[in-house]
A and B are shown apart, each in its own frame.
Chain A
Amino acid sequence: MFSFRKEILAVALMAVAGWASAQGTGKYPGVGRDATPKEVAAWDIDVRPDFKGLPAGSGTVAKGQDVWETKCAHCHGVFGESNEVFSPLIGGTSADDVKTGRVAKLMDPTGGRTTLMKVATLSTVWDYINRAMPWTAPKSLTTEEVYAVTAFLLNLGGVVPENFTLSDKNIAEVQARMPNRNGMQTKHAMWPGNEFGGVKKADTANVACMKNCATEPTVASFLPDFARNAHGNLLEQNRIVGPQRGADTTKPESKAVGASGASVPAVVVPAAPAAKSAPEASGADNKAAIALTAKNSCTACHGMSNKIVGPSFADIAKKHAGKADYLAGKIKAGGTGVWGPVPMPAQTLSDAEAKTIAVWLAAGAGK
Chain B
Amino acid sequence: MNHQDINSGRVLKAPENFLSKDGIKTVFSEGKRGRRDFIRSAFAAAAAGAAVPVAMAQGNPVPVEGGDANILKLPEHTTGLGQGVATDGYGKPSKFEVNLQRRQSPGLTQTTQASVSFAPLQSLFGIVTPSGLHFERHHQGWWDIDPSKHRFMVNGMVKSPKVFTMDEIMRLPSVSRFHFIECGANTAAEWGNVAVPTVQYTHGMLSCSEFTGVPLITLLELAGADLKNGKFVLAEGGDGSSMTRTIPMSLILSGEVIVAYGQNGEMLRPENGYPLRLVVPGVQGVSWVKYLRRVEVGDKPYAAKDEAIHYIDLQPDGTHRQYTNLQECKSVVTTPSGGQVLLDKGFYNITGLAWSGKGKIKKVDVSVDGGRNWRQARLETPVLSKALTRFNIDWVWNGKPALIQSRAADDTGFVQPTYKQLRAARGTRSIYHNNAIQSWLVQENGEIKNVQLS
Closest residue of A by beta carbon distance from B327: A190
5 of the cross-chain contacts (CB-CB < 8 Å) are A31-B222, A106-B319, A195-B301, A221-B451, A238-B99
* Contact status of A202 and B103, CB under 8 A, knowing A131-B241, A262-B341: no
Instruction: For the complex, give the distance between the alpha carbons of A171 and B232 in Å.
Output: 24
CB <8 Å contact, A49 and B300: yes
Given A131-B241, A132-B242, A192-B251, 17 more pairs with CB closer than 8 A: A49-B300, A86-B111, A120-B322, A138-B240, A184-B312, A185-B321, A185-B322, A204-B422, A213-B371, A213-B374, A220-B453, A220-B454, A244-B448, A253-B445, A257-B445, A270-B97, A270-B98
Interface size bucket, B side? 35 or more
- In terms of DSSP, what is the predominant structure of the interface of chain A? loop
* Contact status of A262 and B153, CB under 8 A, knowing A35-B161, A217-B370: no
CB <8 Å contact, B340 and A244: yes
B13 is contacted by which of A127, A215, A257, A264 (Cβ under 8 Å)? A264
- Is B325 an interface residue when CB atoms closer than 8 A count as contact? yes
- Is A103 an interface residue when CB atoms closer than 8 A count as contact? yes
Chain B residues with Cβ under 8 A from A220's Cβ?
A: 451-454
A213 is contacted by which of B283, B372, B375, B415 (Cβ under 8 Å)? B372
Instruction: For the complex, give the distance between the alpha carbons of A196 and B123 in Å.
Output: 40
CB <8 Å contact, A240 and B451: no
User: Which residues of A, 203-255, contact B by the 8 Å Cβ criterion?
Assistant: 203-213, 215-223, 227-228, 230-232, 234, 236-247, 249, 253-255
CB <8 Å contact, A260 and B110: no
CB <8 Å contact, A35 and B240: no
A119 is contacted by which of B302, B308, B428 (Cβ under 8 Å)? B308
- Is A167 an interface residue when CB atoms closer than 8 A count as contact? no
Q: Which of B24-32, B46-54, B195-203, B263-271 contacts A (4 or more CB under 8 A)?
A: B195-203
CB <8 Å contact, A217 and B371: yes
- Is B343 an interface residue when CB atoms closer than 8 A count as contact? yes
The smallest C-beta distance from B8 to any residue of chain A, in angstroms, reads 11
CB <8 Å contact, B314 and A206: no
The smallest C-beta distance from A52 to any residue of chain B, in angstroms, reads 8
CB <8 Å contact, B106 and A121: no
CB <8 Å contact, B309 and A191: no
- Is A74 an interface residue when CB atoms closer than 8 A count as contact? no
Q: Interface centre among A30, A124, A191, A254, by most B CB within 10 Å?
A: A191
The smallest C-beta distance from B148 to any residue of chain A, in angstroms, reads 16
Chain B residues with Cβ under 8 A from A299's Cβ?
A: 112
CB <8 Å contact, A243 and B343: yes
Closest residue of B by beta carbon distance from A203: B425
Closest residue of B by beta carbon distance from A307: B110
CB <8 Å contact, B153 and A221: no
CB <8 Å contact, B415 and A206: yes
The smallest C-beta distance from A288 to any residue of chain B, in angstroms, reads 19
A18-30: CB near B (< 8 Å → 1, else 0) gives: 0000000111101
A44 is contacted by which of B198, B296, B403 (Cβ under 8 Å)? B296
- Is A50 an interface residue when CB atoms closer than 8 A count as contact? yes
The smallest C-beta distance from B183 to any residue of chain A, in angstroms, reads 15
CB <8 Å contact, A35 and B153: yes
- Is B182 an interface residue when CB atoms closer than 8 A count as contact? no
User: Which residues of A, 90-134, contact B by the 8 Å Cβ criterion?
Assistant: 102-104, 106-107, 109, 113, 115, 118-121, 123-124, 127-128, 131-132
